[in-house]
Amino acid sequence: MRDFPPTTALELEFEKGWLTIWFNQPASRNALSAELTADLRAVLADVREDRTVRGITLRGRGGVFCAGGDLKAFQSGHQSSETTDPVEGVVSLSRSGAEIFDLVDTMPQVVIASIEGAAMAGGLGLACCADVILVESGARFAFTETAIGLTPAQIAPFVIRKLGYSTGRRLMLTAARFDGQGAVDLGFTDFVAEGVEALDEIEAGLRRQVLKCAPGAVADIKRLILDLPGLDRDAQIDAAARNFAGRLLGEEGREGIAAFLEKRKPLWAEEV
What is the CATH superfamily name and number for domain 10-210?
Answer: 2-enoyl-CoA Hydratase; Chain A, domain 1 (3.90.226.10)
* Cα 177 to Cα 143: distance, rounded to the nearest angstrom: 8
Task: Indicate if the pLDDT at residue 79 is higher than 70.
Answer: no
* Cα 116 to Cα 118: distance, rounded to the nearest angstrom: 6
CATH top-level class of 215-269: mainly alpha
Band (pLDDT 50/70/90 cuts) for residue 83 is low
Task: Indicate if the pLDDT at residue 80 is higher than 80.
Answer: no
Check if 10-210 and 215-269 are the same fold: no
Reference 113, options 168, 163, 57; nearest CA is: 57
**Of the given ranges (82-91, 119-128, 220-229), which has the lowest mean pLDDT?**
82-91
pLDDT over 90, % of the chain? 88
pLDDT at 250: 98
Q: Residue ranges per domain, the chain?
A: 10-210, 215-269
Burial of 241 from C-beta contacts in 10 A (0-12 / 13-18 / 19+): exposed
pLDDT at 76: 60
Band (pLDDT 50/70/90 cuts) for residue 108 is very high
Report the relative pairing of strands 55-60 and 10-15 from DSSP bridges: unpaired
* Cα 237 to Cα 226: distance, rounded to the nearest angstrom: 14
pLDDT at 90: 83
Torsion, Cα of 30, 117, 126, 153 (10° steps): -90
Q: pLDDT digits over 23-37, tens only? A: 999 999 999 999 999
Reference 116, options 184, 158, 68, 66; nearest CA is: 66
- Residues 6 or more apart in contact with residue 48 via CB below 8 angstroms: 103, 107, 108
As a residue count, the chain comes to 272
pLDDT over 70, % of the chain? 95
